């Protein structure tokens, strides 16, 4: 039976970094991760990022049971698989495999909110992909009904996240609207309070402490034995 530890979080709060650190535990399968110059971490998990795809804010999830089964059938390791996710608990209730959850709560203090908003602007909206495959994958997750090749037509350079959104996300009709509103919109309701039963909750403020990752991953090692 496949075992999955989901790290659940709003964009910009460091979920992929935390997932990467957790996956280094000997009881977990190490995540494939890329670290960019802007300090953004991007991971490739067993579900190919499907749990960070459409539906996080609307709860209209695009993942099917067959999609999940196809991915699980390729897992050969009996170690815990670490998977970053933006989805609420309702997306997991029908799944039939062993799961645990680590949830980063949305920031509460204004200083920390501003920190996350800046991360979103600098690491996501301003981000340019150096790998065309990662760019295609990002487009597929953000705009699943569009052909990535068609999306890229008309660009004479690799576009930033904001440049893609202004052309294809009907919620935002200009660049200023994206930079002013998207970071706040990205703070998902499911990570306010405690909506995941039996999850390990992490306060965003704690993730800013100097020794957070080393101390927390020791705790996870005990959880996944």
**Number of C-beta neighbours around residue 8 at 10 A:** 30
Q: How many domains does the chain have?
A: 2
Query: Based on the domain organization, do 19 and 81 belong to the same domain?
Result: yes
Query: Based on the domain organization, do 96 and 5 belong to the same domain?
Result: yes
pLDDT confidence of residue 208: 93
Instruction: Tell me what the pLDDT averaged over the chain comes to.
Output: 89
pLDDT confidence of residue 138: 77
Residue 112 lies in a domain: no
Q: Which residues pair with 84 in a beta bridge?
A: 7
pLDDT confidence of residue 38: 84
- Domain at 207, CATH number: 3.40.50
Find the mean pLDDT for residues 35-47: 90
Query: Based on the domain organization, do 3 and 88 belong to the same domain?
Result: yes
Determine the structural domain holding residue 153 and report its residue range.
120-186
Quote the pTM value.
0.91
Query: Based on the domain organization, do 172 and 220 belong to the same domain?
Result: no
Residue 161 lies in a domain: yes
Query: Based on the domain organization, do 41 and 152 belong to the same domain?
Result: no
Residue 114 lies in a domain: no
pLDDT confidence of residue 198: 87
The model's pLDDT over 63-104, given as tens digits with 9 standing for 90+, comes to 889 999 999 999 999 999 999 999 999 999 999 999 999 999
The model's pLDDT over 103-133, given as tens digits with 9 standing for 90+, comes to 999 999 999 999 999 999 999 999 887 667 7
Instruction: Indicate if the pLDDT at residue 156 is higher than 70.
Output: no
Share of the chain above pLDDT 70, in %: 97
Strands 41-44 and 32-35 turn out to be antiparallel
Q: Which residues pair with 34 in a beta bridge?
A: 42
Query: Based on the domain organization, do 102 and 4 belong to the same domain?
Result: yes
Query: Based on the domain organization, do 26 and 93 belong to the same domain?
Result: yes
Q: Which tops the pLDDT comparison, 118 or 34?
A: 118
Residue 175 lies in a domain: yes
CA separation for the pair 217, 87 (Å, rounded): 22
Query: Based on the domain organization, do 50 and 9 belong to the same domain?
Result: yes
Grade residue 137 by pLDDT with cuts at 50, 70 and 90: confident
Find the mean pLDDT for residues 27-37: 91
The DSSP code sequence of 53-121 is: STTTTT------HHHHHHHHTT----SEEEEEE---GGGTTT--SEEEEEEEPPP-SHHHHHHHHHHHI
Query: Based on the domain organization, do 148 and 52 belong to the same domain?
Result: no
Instruction: Indicate if the pLDDT at residue 144 is higher than 80.
Output: no
3-class DSSP assignment, residue 151: helix
Query: Based on the domain organization, do 56 and 88 belong to the same domain?
Result: yes
**Number of C-beta neighbours around residue 38 at 10 A:** 12
pLDDT confidence of residue 60: 85
Q: Which tops the pLDDT comparison, 102 or 169?
A: 102
Question: What b-and-e string marks burial along 86-96, b requiring 16 or more CB atoms within 10 Å of the CB?
Answer: bbbeebbeeee
Query: Based on the domain organization, do 124 and 17 belong to the same domain?
Result: no
Grade residue 164 by pLDDT with cuts at 50, 70 and 90: confident
Residue 44 carries which DSSP code? E
Residue 113 lies in a domain: no
Instruction: Indicate if the pLDDT at residue 163 is higher than 70.
Output: yes
Per residue, what are the HEC states of 57-71?
A: CCCCCCCCHHHHHHH
Query: Based on the domain organization, do 124 and 140 belong to the same domain?
Result: yes
Is residue 138 within 8 A of residue 34, CB to CB? The reply is: no
Share of the chain above pLDDT 90, in %: 61
């Amino acid at each position: 039976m496949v075992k999955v530890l989901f790290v659940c979080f709003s964009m910009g709060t460091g979920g992929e970094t935390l997932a990467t650190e957790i996956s280094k535990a000997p009881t977990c399968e190490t995540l494939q991760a890329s670290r960019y110059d802007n300090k953004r971490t991007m991971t490739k998990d067993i579900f190919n990022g499907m749990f960070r795809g459409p539906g996080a804010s609307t709860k209209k999830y695009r993942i099917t049971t067959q999609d999940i089964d196809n991915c699980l059938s390729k897992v050969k390791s009996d170690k815990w698989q670490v998977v970053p996710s933006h989805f609420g608990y309702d997306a997991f209730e029908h799944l039939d495999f062993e799961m645990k959850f680590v949830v980063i709560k949305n920031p509460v203090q204004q200083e920390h909110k501003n920190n996350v908003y800046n991360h979103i602007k600098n690491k996501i909206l301003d981000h340019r992909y150096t790998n065309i495959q990662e760019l295609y994958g990002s487009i597929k997750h953000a705009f699943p009904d569009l052909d990535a090749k068609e999306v890229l037509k008309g660009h004479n350079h690799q576009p930033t996240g904001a440049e893609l959104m202004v052309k294809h996300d009907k919620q935002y009709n200009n660049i200023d609207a994206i930079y002013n509103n998207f970071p706040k919109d990205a703070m998902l309701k499911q990570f306010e309070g405690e909506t995941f039963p039996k999850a390990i909750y992490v306060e965003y403020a704690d993730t800013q402490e100097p020794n957070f990752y080393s101390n927390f991953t020791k705790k996870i090692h005990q959880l996944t034995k």
